[in-house]
Every structure is written in C-alpha cells, then in structure tokens.
Structure 1
C-alpha cells in the first residue's frame, strides 16, 4: 500500500527483529491513519533535502517495540514517528542540523538526533512534545539528552 508518492506502508513496517521473531507488525486503525500523516511529513522532508530518505525504523507494534527495547511511550507505537537517514544528503547529524530550523514549515513535531555506539539516525515525530524545549534534541546513549542538535 502506497501512503504517499515516495513512501509505502512496507517501509514503515519492515523490521529485521520482527522477521527474526516472526512477529506481525501490521498497523490498524488509528496507527495506519497516523502513518499517512507521518509519511506526508517525510515527503516534505525529502523535498526540503532534495534527496531520498530511508526509513530505518517506523511503526512498531507493542510486542516488537518491547523486543527492540523501545520506550513504552514511543511515538513509533502510534505510527507517529520514523527514524531516518539520508546518505545522499550527508550524515544523520547534518540531516538533523538541516531540518531543525525548519520544523514548523515542514510540519515536524520533533527532531531528535540519536546516537547509540556507532549507530546514528534522525528521529522525526509528527507529535509535538508537551515541553517546547524538547522539540529539537540530541540523545546519546551514555551521555543523556541534550538541547538542540549536538555533535557527539
């Protein structure tokens, strides 16, 4: 199922962990509606960057979210978030820096530059966090949460 011109539902539900554990990661109802909204944000991000973006993690059902160690309050559970990279644009840090000043124009609720060991990605959420200060942050395992997009 194509959600938008450049994003299919399969891109949001693909998961190596779900395949390994033989989990059904099919969203229904509200999560599917939210994924369409999230895909529309990714379309605007793609146009802004001028290059394709790759979804590394999208929708996660409750069992999959637990299996990957996701937060119980994760926006991925509701189809409101996608972790992305855009190698043709640059590093995840460069992508996050490019998007942060334009979150309102692009309709992004939150941008998080995430770092875990050698892995780096950009978390984009359709949901605006309760505290405005948390709209643009960096989260690095072992270093915690930092305001803004920080090089770590």
Structure 2
C-alpha cells in the first residue's frame, strides 16, 4: 500500500526482527492512520534533504518493540516514529543538523540523533514530547541523552 508518493506501508512496517521471530508486525487501524501522518512528515524530510530517505525502523508491534529493547512508551508502537538514514546526504549527524531548522514546518515533534556503537541513525516522530527540552536531543546508547544535536 502506497502511503505517500515515496513511502509504502511495507517499508514503514518491515522488520527483520519480526521475520526472524515469526511475529506479525501488522499495525492496528489507529497505528495505520498515524503511519500515514508519519509518511507525510517523511515526504517533507525527503524534500528538505533533496535525496531519498531510508527507513530503518518504523512501526513496531509490542512483541517486536520488546525484542529490540524499545522503550515501553516508544512512538514506534503507535506508528508515530521512524528511524532514518540518508546516505546520499551524509552521516545521520548531518541529516539531524539539517532538519532541526525545519522542525516545525516539517511537523516533527521530536528529533533524536542516536548512536549505538558504530551504528547511527535519526529518529523522527510526529508526537510532541511532554517536555519541550526533549524535542531535539542526542542519545548515545549506554551513555545517556544530551540536549541538542551533538557530534559524539
């Protein structure tokens, strides 16, 4: 199912973890509606960057979210978030820095530059966090969060 010109339901629900575990990662009807909004936000991200955006993690059903160690309150559970990379643009750090000035226009509620070992990605969500200070942050797995987009 094509959600927007450049994003499909399949790519926003694809999960190697779900496949490996034999778990159905089909979104609920409510999550599907949120995924449509997330895909629209991603269209704007793609437009700002001027290059294709690759979704590395979108919707996660509860079993998949637990298996990947996702937070119990993760926006991925609701279809409100996507982890992305844009290799033709640059490092995820560069992507995050480029998106921050457009956060409101793009409908991004939260942007997180995340790093775990040698892996890095950008988490974008349509949900506005409860604390405005958590809107733009950097998270290094095992080391915690920092305000803003930091080159760590």
TM-score range, shorter chain: over 0.9
Q: Deviations over 1:44-87 (max 9, x none)?
A: 00001000000000000001100111100000000000000000
2:141 is matched with which residue?
Answer: 141
Q: How far, CA to CA, are the matches of 2:143 and 2:70 in structure 1?
A: 18
Cα RMSD, aligned residues only: 0.6
How far did 1:143 drift? 1.9
1:127 is matched with which residue?
Answer: 127
2:50 is matched with which residue?
Answer: 50
TM-score normalised according to structure 2 size? 0.99
2:24 is matched with which residue?
Answer: 24
Q: Deviations over 1:27-60 (max 9, x none)?
A: 1211000000000000000001000000000000
Q: How far, CA to CA, are the matches of 1:149 and 1:102 in structure 2?
A: 14
Q: How far, CA to CA, are the matches of 1:58 and 1:69 in structure 2?
A: 14
Q: How far, CA to CA, are the matches of 1:150 and 1:91 in structure 2?
A: 13
1:99 alignment partner, SS class: helix
Q: How far, CA to CA, are the matches of 1:117 and 1:101 in structure 2?
A: 27
Q: How far, CA to CA, are the matches of 1:28 and 1:133 in structure 2?
A: 30
1:146 alignment partner, SS class: strand
The runs of 5 or more residues in structure 1 that have no matched partner are none
2:11 is matched with which residue?
Answer: 11
2:77 alignment partner, SS class: helix
The runs of 5 or more residues in structure 2 that have no matched partner are none
